[in-house]
Amino acid sequence: MRIQPRQQILDIWRAMLSACYRDEKWHWDGVLEANSISDSEQLLCLLYPATEIESFALDRPESMSDDVREVLGAFGGPTRIGITMIGLLEEYLQRNTDADGTPRFDAGSYLRPAGEVRPTEQQSAIEVVDSYSMSATLCLAGLGFARVFDRWADAERRADINDRVATLSAGLSARLTVAMTGLIRSFVVNTVSATSPSGRAMLAMLNQSGASERTILEQARVSLDRVRSRLRTDVKLGRTPHTDFIDDDQLFECGWSWGVVQDADPVTFPDREVAQVAGIADPRPYLYFTIVALDGINDILSQRTRELDLLNADQQRLAEALRLRWDLTQRYWSTVARFGSGRWPLEDIPWRTSDGEESDYFSLTVSAVLIQELIARTASDDDLTRAVAIFEELSRRGRIKSRPTRSDPAVALHDPGVRMVLRGTEKADGGGPQLEWIVSDFATVLLKRTLQAAQLSGNIAARDQLMELAKTVMDHLERRMITEGEAPGLWDDPSGVFGGHTRSRPSWYLTERLVECLVTADRTYRETPLRSTAMVSRAVEILSEAEHLLDQEMLEVSQSDSSPNRRTLDMIEERLTRARALINSQPGTSFTLASAALIELDRLAFARSDAMRSI
């Protein structure tokens, strides 16, 4: 099916209001009990498109689009829609703030026990990177919305709205500061000996050529020297263990653990204290949480954040610390993914992590980091062509482009999802079982990164292949839409693809990620179409012929002539002027316009020669 971001986002909004807004009250629960993460995800389904796509804006009542006003009509008129969004953000802060004003980032029902023993109350309050990242994105979206809506309230002299916006903005900003601090303290560098089990697992992934261990170690040292040097000297704020390397021959990896790392330094502020939990997370990177953190930091560093001046002085300092970690992490994983001169380690599917775990999902997350790094830098055609093959292979292995078989183990990538043990959760106050995190977003990660790769690609064939793959993934997700029960039109009901028990309650986890994909699709579609140099040449040739023939026809008419032929020639001239203007940006359109002009010119020439024969 075609990906139609505008219509599909409006459909999701319509479904959300039907499922969540009853008797003028917002309902927060989904398939799992509400927690700080699902609350953020739920509101981002509304606010992320509203703040990232101009035509979905809710912060300027006077210019709100008619279809947006109609879909959100349950909230009231355009002014009422904006005020309701202010109220939802206020409720969100109230729900996720302790009585003493400390922001909460509990993962709650997203944390699952590995066995039969249920998590303790203290474990349910454990803070994870997912909550920090989602909260940062939501707080920035909320602050931007409030900033623009406040200007409207000023113009309308609505002091009551100004007061509410000021209080809301202060609360969102305070939460953003804590979320950014948590992201800094969750970053980790894991150093290992080449002879350790972790080191041997890393070398096995790097060595795609069968070279000696000594050769691979030397190549890794040289390739990663710049990253290692900057990790050692530049990463200072909120440092975590192992950032200091014992020697340059150590292997290492960097990224984000699942939460604040054990023994992470607190982040100091010159004039106030900011709430900071004690770290208990395993001091090694988790690929899933790394890509989640990178996505959140993207929003912190975005052009919109800068243009609206959403960060205060403390947050700008934190943002620079996160920018450094964002840059080094992307450089590290991009280097590792493409290590060597032959086959990439990333092409050796499935990816094996340093603790020996392997999964197609890990290959997908490393691909996601690679695409993120290629966005930040100029991507080569070879990089993107090879990425296309990886995405195609993952879509087949993930049973998106191929049919699942009976008892197919690949189904577990989607339902229930990939299980990750969160080492260190058993160290929470009061103890408790070791907990797990389940990720079931294989399809949405593949869709989002495929669309981003298509946006980057300068190769028409590669871009077309990526867009066709994106449509296939969207078909898969469309079949997983809930169709009955409490939340038709939302996600996720895997039974539509894989069979089994039908689900009727919304997963804000997957619905929000699908909304992110649709926002990415909107950005991709707004890019200038790719231009073929061969098509440019053809367009120039046909345009040159058409303009020459037009000049000949103009010799036969006077400036004051008002005959039908003269009017036709004027229309042809306008068409060719338009074709000339588009020749570099849209050569296919230019070619078509010039072709149409040639047909009209030939019709005129034939009519004239036919008239002369009849004389």
Q: What pLDDT score does 611 carry?
A: 63
Q: Render pLDDT for 534-580 as a digit per residue (tens, 0 to 9).
A: 777 888 888 888 888 888 887 777 666 667 888 888 889 898 999 88
Render the burial of 289-325: b for 16+ CB within 10 Å, e for the rest. bbbbbbbbbbbbbbeebeebebbeebbebbbebbebb
What's the mean per-residue pLDDT of the chain?
Answer: 91
Which one, of 584, 600, 598, lies nearest residue 540 by Cα? 584
Q: Does residue 419 surpass a pLDDT of 60?
A: yes
Interior/surface letters 66-96, b for 16+ CB within 10 angstroms, e for the rest: eebbebbeebeebbebbbbbbebbbebbeeb
Residue ranges covered by each domain of the chain: 533-613
366 vs 458, residue with greater confidence: 366
pLDDT digits 0-9 by tens, 138-180: 999 999 999 999 988 888 788 888 999 999 999 999 999 999 9
- Span between the terminal Cα atoms of the chain, in Å: 58
Query: Which tokens go with 43?
Result: 């509101």
- Residue 351: what pLDDT? 96
pLDDT at 423: 94
Tokens 């028990």, residue?
501
Q: How confident is the model over 436-477, as pLDDT tens digits? A: 999 999 999 999 999 999 988 877 888 889 999 999 999 999
- Is the pLDDT at 615 greater than 60? The verdict is no
Decide if pLDDT at 240 tops 90: no
pLDDT number for residue 539: 83
Is pLDDT larger for residue 512 or for residue 603?
Answer: 512
pLDDT higher than 70, residue 248: no
Single-letter residue type at 531: R
Output 20 or 458, whichever has higher pLDDT: 20
Sequence length of the chain is 615
Q: What is the pLDDT of residue 541?
A: 86
Residue 406: its pLDDT value, please? Answer: 85
Instruction: Let me know: does 178 contact 274? Beta carbons within 8 Å.
Output: yes
Lowest mean pLDDT among 114-118, 377-381, 477-481, 562-566: 377-381
> Residue 252: in which H helix or E strand, if any?
strand 251-256
Q: What is the DSSP string of 65-82?
A: -HHHHHHTGGG-SHHHHH
Confirm if 224 and 332 have CB atoms less than 8 A apart. yes
Q: What percent of the chain is modeled with pLDDT above 70? A: 96
Say how far apart CA 166 and CA 169 lie, in whole Å.
5
- Put simply, whether the predicted model's pTM sits higher than 0.85 gets the answer yes
pLDDT of residue 531: 67
Contact 512, 492 (CB under 8 A): no
Which amino acid does the sequence have at 93?
L
Segment (H or E) for 163: helix 159-186
The predicted pLDDT at position 166 comes to 95
Instruction: Give the pLDDT confidence score for residue 384 in this predicted structure.
Output: 82
Instruction: Determine how β-strand 111-113 pairs with β-strand 187-192.
Output: unpaired
Give the gyration radius of the chain's Cα atoms: 28
pLDDT, tens digit, 9 for 90 and up, residues 46-63: 999 999 999 999 999 999
Give the range among 381-385, 452-456, 507-511 with minimum mean pLDDT. 381-385
Most confident of 361-370, 521-530, 562-571: 361-370
Distance, C-alpha 312 to centroid of its chain: 25
Task: Tell me: pLDDT of 289 over 80.
Answer: yes
Residue 481 DSSP label = B
Helix or strand or coil: residue 588? helix
> What integer pLDDT is reported at residue 239 of this predicted model?
74
Give the model's pLDDT for residue 128: 97
d(CA 447, CA 445): 5
Between residues 239 and 3, the one the model is more confident about: 3
The predicted pLDDT at position 302 comes to 95
Q: DSSP string covering 499-553, please?
A: -SS---S--HHHHHHHHHHHHHHHHHHHSPPP--HHHHHHHHHHHHHHHHHHHHH
Q: Average pLDDT in the 228-245 region?
A: 77
What is the pLDDT at residue 26?
96
d(CA 298, CA 156): 34
